[in-house]
Amino acid sequence: MVRLGALAVGLFFVIAVLWGAVQPREASPPDPVKAVHEHPEQIAWTHNGPGNLGILGTFDRKQLQRGFQVYREVCSACHSINRVAFRDLADLGFSEAEIKAIAVSYDIPTINDAGEPTTRKGTPADRFPLVYPNEAAARAAQNGAYPPDLSLMTKARPDGTNYVRSLMLGYRDEVPKTLTAPEGLYYNPWFHSVFIAMPPPLAADDQVTYADGTKGTRENYATDVATFLTWTAEPKLEARKATGVAAVIFLLIMTGLGYLSYKKVWADIKRKPAKA
Ligand code: HEC
């Protein structure tokens, strides 16, 4: 009796599912934002290694320094990288003296002896300070929009490195007829809602004069700053890959040893003659 009941319930669900499958779906109107939203352009990154596979690869130090320069001269007006300490910049190939010089150029909030908030000069042990004391202050200064901290941005978005680069280069003057630009927002089909509050940060070539003489093009700025932000999000990327490679080599050697000892252990054992 119980079995029959269970069978009936099971059958009911099977029929319900099949019924759902054969029902014609209501045609939903095409979403005009989805129709124009673009996926990040894929390019080859040195930190992704040969074939862009992501298994091997190291950061290009000069490129990281250029990306940092773009961040410092352009993005840092609105965005913090509060998870990064000045001394971490040693990874980029900066000397101790250079790091000190960078650190003192920033004011770090602190409390003085009288208990009042004030600022002091940065030291290598400090982290990059916030641009605004909190989100409300940021929104108040940015017309209601919030420029997020960029330390982990390339991890926070799918395909983050390509995304940041595409977003930088993705501003378009021509808004599709299917959409109306909200007041004060910019059309950028790489942003999730395709209208972004950030004014085009890399609007022109020669906006930044690279210290290493690399050509100052929007494309270079976007690629370099995306690389820099990949490092801020994963400064240990190279160490992680090196560990992976070492682990694979270790496993290969152990497999070889295992095979050889197997041969040795079984070398004297005669095979049983096959049964007639
Ligand atoms: C004038 C201020 C300003 C500058 C300069 C600026 N941004 Fe922004 N940025 C914003 C604001 C505001 C937002 C939030 C946009 C929104 O939510 O519509 C934002 C958002 C972003 C986002 C997040 C997009 C997302 O998917 O949520 C990224 C990434 C970004 N900016 C990168 C940069 C980089 C890289 C630079 C430097 C090359 C830069 N920004 C320079 C104001 C700025």
260: pLDDT confidence band, cut at 50, 70 and 90? very high
Q: Which whole number is the average pLDDT over 83-104? A: 97
Closest CA relative to residue 130, chosen from 152, 153, 147, 154: 147
What is the per-residue pLDDT for 2?
A: 66
Q: Which whole number is the average pLDDT over 44-57? A: 91
Q: Is the pLDDT of residue 276 over 70?
A: no
Q: Which whole number is the average pLDDT over 204-230? A: 97
Compute CA distances 205 → 163, 174, 190, 195, whole Å.
20, 20, 21, 23
Closest CA relative to residue 233, chosen from 48, 39, 84, 127: 84
Cβ–ligand 1 contact at 189 (below 6 Å): no
- Which of 59-68, 127-136, 179-188, 264-273 is predicted least confidently? 264-273
Q: 98: which 2 tokens? A: 């250079």
Round the average pLDDT of the chain to a whole number and report it: 93
Report the nearest atom of ligand 1 relative to the CA of 185: 18
Residue 200: CB atoms within 10 A of its CB come to: 15
Is the Cβ–Cβ distance between 105 and 87 less than 8 Å? no
d(CA 240, CA 60): 16
Percent of the chain clearing pLDDT 70 (strictly above)? 98
Cβ–ligand 1 contact at 148 (below 6 Å): yes
Q: Is the pLDDT of residue 267 over 90?
A: no
- Ligand 1 center to 7 CA (angstroms): 58
Compute CA distances 270 → 259, 263, 273, whole Å.
18, 13, 9
What type of residue is 189? P
Q: Is the pLDDT of residue 6 over 80?
A: yes
- Ligand 1 center to 119 CA (angstroms): 26
Tell me, rounded to whole angstroms, the distance of Cα 143 from its chain centroid.
Answer: 26
